[in-house]
Amino acid sequence: MTADLLITGISQLVTAKGSGAKHGPAMRELHVTERAAIAICNRGIIWTGKERDWSGEALASVDVGDRAVVPGLIDPHTHAVWAGNRLADFDARTSGKTYEAILAAGGGIRRTIRATAAATKDELLSLAEPRIRALLQSGATTVEVKSGYGFTPATEIAMLEVIQALAARTPARLLPTLLIHIPPASSEDRPRYITEICTELIPEVARRQLATAVDIFVEKEAFHVDEATLVLQSAKQHNLAVKLHTEQFQCIGGLELGVRMGVLSVDHLETCGPEQLAMLAASSTIATILPGVSLHLGIPAAPGRQLVDAGAAVAVGTDLNPGSSPLFSAAAALALAVRLNGLTAQEALVAGTVNAACALGLADTGRLEVGLQADFLVLEGSDWRELVYTLGGNPVREVWIRGERL
């Protein structure tokens, strides 16, 4: 066997094995190979194992100096494109107003929609680029990016075009999602808005392949289940994957709808109760938790521990956005999931790699296995657990995508 490149000096090579989401106790089954090596050819992994067992030839080699290697992280939930800021909301919240009250009064997400509408596509692109770079440096080699601050079909399309341009400018793999975020302020306009989304926006997004999935925010201050049902049905008819923002503040039937419609993931889940845990555990829908939101808004953390114990497949995302989670690090999201949601270090790594990949419908990433693209991280330390132990500093030393060091 001849490799283009052999990576040596790996203190621990850590990965989940086999495609498919890991549920419950399987989230703790990591494979750790000590004193390991990875052989790469044509950007893909052709061999992994103990360094002393490598018997092939390598055209070049890189010694990572007795450091741990893990798969590139997958951030399955971000809103990385926005303009303006939410510092006035932050002040209002630290003075006692709630996120929901600010939103109901026309601030919050609506404030960001106004600022985003006032920006040009070039401005949005230059604002978003360093955010993606920050996620990349924190270890995210694949990042989902949602629209949702556009509101009208034309501005939502413009946001998706910005994400497309962003994808061309970063080595990270970006997955664009069309997010139907907030309804018109007047309830009279809601039916017409939903019709426009289903008959104009979704068909155009599908035709131009501007998104791989459609997401909708189900919440008292956002969309109701009957509206979300129409949007998800339209998305499915147009062969787009579907997912939901749900159970963030209230339980109004979003999770049940998601499970019934077989969505890829239900995201947030801070208010999820015991019956819902069981329902998720019995389904193939990924439970995506977002600890940055609990930290920043001071709301209860999603029951990560209980979800795993019930047998669900949990993923973790940053939810990077200006209002509820200004968290620019995928590694920190995992570190917070251990502290706030009660995951073990092993579960957090699975939640941020293979399960996060499944939340995006990807079977070909999030693991270090022969045949997969060589996307991996060299950590600063020799023990991989520093990835989820470190707070504040960056535990990621090197990011490799398709066999190339960034």
Which residues are at the interface with Fe ion (CB under 5 A)? 319
Find the binding residues for ligand NIG in span 129-188 (CB under 6 A). none
What is the smallest separation between the CB atom of 359 and Fe ion, expressed in angstroms? 12
The kind and range of the H/E element at 207 are: helix 202-207
Q: CA 313, CA 123: separation in Å to the nearest integer?
A: 38
Partner from ligand NIG, Fe ion, none binding residue 75, C-beta < 5-8 Å depending on class: none
Q: How far apart are CA 360 and CA 340, in angstroms?
A: 23
Taking CB under 6 A as the binding criterion, the range among 104-112, 125-133, 363-371, 379-387 that sits at the site for ligand NIG is 104-112
Q: What are 348's two structure tokens?
A: 């957090």
**3-class DSSP state for residue 396?**
strand
The reply on whether position 324 binds ligand NIG by CB under 6 A is yes
Near ligand NIG by CB under 6 A, which window of 35-43, 108-116, 122-130, 269-277? Answer: 108-116
What residues have CB less than 8 Å from 90, skipping those under 6 apart? none
Least CB distance from residue 201 to ligand NIG, whole Å? Answer: 18
Cα 122 from Cα 128, distance rounded (Å): 10
- Our finding on whether 346 is near ligand NIG (CB under 6 A) is no
Among 109, 163, 263, 387, binds ligand NIG (CB under 6 A): 109
Between residues 16 and 109, which has the closer beta carbon with respect to ligand NIG? 109
Q: Which is nearer to ligand NIG, 222 or 399 (CB)?
A: 222
> Distance (Å, rounded) from C-alpha 89 to C-alpha 118?
19
Please answer whether residues 38 and 92 qualify as being in contact, where contact means their C-beta atoms are separated by less than 8 angstroms. no
User: For ligand NIG, which is the closer residue by CB, 293 or 388?
Assistant: 293
H or E stretch covering 346: helix 345-351
Residue in the block written with tokens 């949602």 = 146
DSSP-assigned beta bridge partners for residue 321: 325
Residue 248 or 373: the one with the smaller Cβ distance to Fe ion is 248
User: Which lies closer to ligand NIG via its Cβ, residue 151 or residue 217?
Assistant: 217
Question: Which residues here bind ligand NIG, judged by CB under 6 A?
Answer: 79, 108-109, 112, 217, 245, 248, 293, 319, 321-324
